[in-house]
Amino acid sequence: MEAESSKEGFWNDSQKASGIMQEIEELRKEISELSSLETEIDELIEMSEIISADSVEALEMQGRIVEFEKEIEKLEFKILLGGEYDRNNVIMAIHAGAGGVDAQDWTEMLLRMYLRFCEKKGFSAKILSESRGSEAGIKSVTLEIVGAYAYGYFQSEAGVHRLVRLSPFNSDNLRQTSFALVEILPVISNMEEVEISQQDIRVDVYRSSGAGGQSVNTTDSAVRITHIPTQIVVTCQNERSQLQNKEQAMKILRAKLHQKYLTEREEEKKKLRGEFSSAEWGSQIRSYVVHPYKMVKDHRTKYETTNAEGVLNGDLQNFMEAYLKNMKK
């Protein structure tokens, strides 16, 4: 990749070039980590050969071994991130489900949770489109998440999320169950399996309903693209220009079409194997209970924690790791 990056014309396709440069930096970091661990192994072996078991140096070495094991665990987690698209960036969409205003508020809570996780991991997140509720919360929101192994981490979040709490939106303060659907799609620059013909798409422009700013809300900068053969509709309104919104919308469309292709391929395999499963709204992947007790439980991996507040503040690493280990099994 370094050889490719030094060729003339490398930056002619800036999007592809940026992706390659990002991957080069990630690999350099991994190589540096491995080299550091290799040096640590050599030093520990050398120490073990010259010190006595009950000496002060032996106690020091035990402490270093504990830290070394933690670093090994981090690398072992990366082994779980070996899927075809695990290094890719992510298109995430969150949609309010059953539960009225509570569900819209729950959607906004999920958005905040994922943004907090991105902050912890050093990922950047940008909202591409948003439809807010008339009373509170968000009806739906689409965002792009950029970072090393973003899809590898976030693939665990795809599905229906269920919240149980005392509702702040009714006078009796009754317990309310709300649902929200999370879609996770890898950002794919080139799709060999799916081609998008200009004749197959319809592009509509309209005035953005975003937060304002130069050119936003004053011109028809928002873009809606309809893929006619599949009737998939994508929108983007948060960029400043119509061209930028169209580019982002096409990125989302490519991801959705690729996901449709993969789903259909998997369904065909299930038919050949004689398997059948229906995707129903009520089949949640994770439940977040904050009343009458506190617990977050993943129904696929059975991993659970009573630290519901921590999870809603972005502490999702353990849930993601449990999902990846379960998938590996």
Is a pLDDT exceeding 50 seen at residue 214? no
Average pLDDT over residues 221-246: 86
Highest mean pLDDT out of 24-33, 108-117, 271-280: 108-117
Say if pTM beats, i.e. exceeds, 0.75: no
248 compared with 217, residue with greater pLDDT: 248
Our measurement of the distance from residue 233's CA atom to the centroid of its chain's CA atoms, rounded to an integer in Å, reads 21
Percent with pLDDT over 90 in the chain: 29
The rounded distance, in Å, linking the Cα atoms of 329 and 327 is 5
C-alpha distance from residue 54 to each of 66, 151, 255 (Å): 17, 47, 59
The rounded distance, in Å, linking the Cα atoms of 38 and 141 is 45
Our measurement of the distance from residue 310's CA atom to the centroid of its chain's CA atoms, rounded to an integer in Å, reads 18
Name residue 92's beta-bridge partners. 143, 184
As a dihedral over the C-alpha atoms of residue 80, residue 83, residue 86, residue 90, rounded to 10 degrees, the angle is -130
Query: Tell me, what's the pLDDT at 276?
Result: 45
Do the beta carbons of residue 37 and residue 71 sit within 8 Å?
A: yes
Would you state the structure tokens that stand for residue 18, as one six-digit string? 């940026």
List pLDDT tens digits, range 137-151: 899 999 999 988 899
| Burial (0-12, 13-18, 19+ Cβ within 10 Å), 313 | middle
Q: Given pLDDT bands bounded at 50, 70 and 90, which one contains residue 46?
A: confident
The rounded distance, in Å, linking the Cα atoms of 113 and 107 is 10
Residue among 215, 230, 238, 220 at smallest CA distance from 143: 238
φ, ψ at 290 (rounded to 5°)? -115, 0
Do the beta carbons of residue 198 and residue 206 sit within 8 Å?
A: no
Query: Tell me, what's the pLDDT at 209?
Result: 63
Query: Tell me, what's the pLDDT at 192?
Result: 61
Q: Given pLDDT bands bounded at 50, 70 and 90, which one contains residue 73?
A: confident
Query: Tell me, what's the pLDDT at 278?
Result: 42
Query: Tell me, what's the pLDDT at 150?
Result: 92
φ, ψ at 76 (rounded to 5°)? -65, -35
Q: Given pLDDT bands bounded at 50, 70 and 90, which one contains residue 280?
A: very low
List pLDDT tens digits, range 174-194: 788 899 999 998 887 666 666
Do the beta carbons of residue 96 and residue 90 sit within 8 Å?
A: no
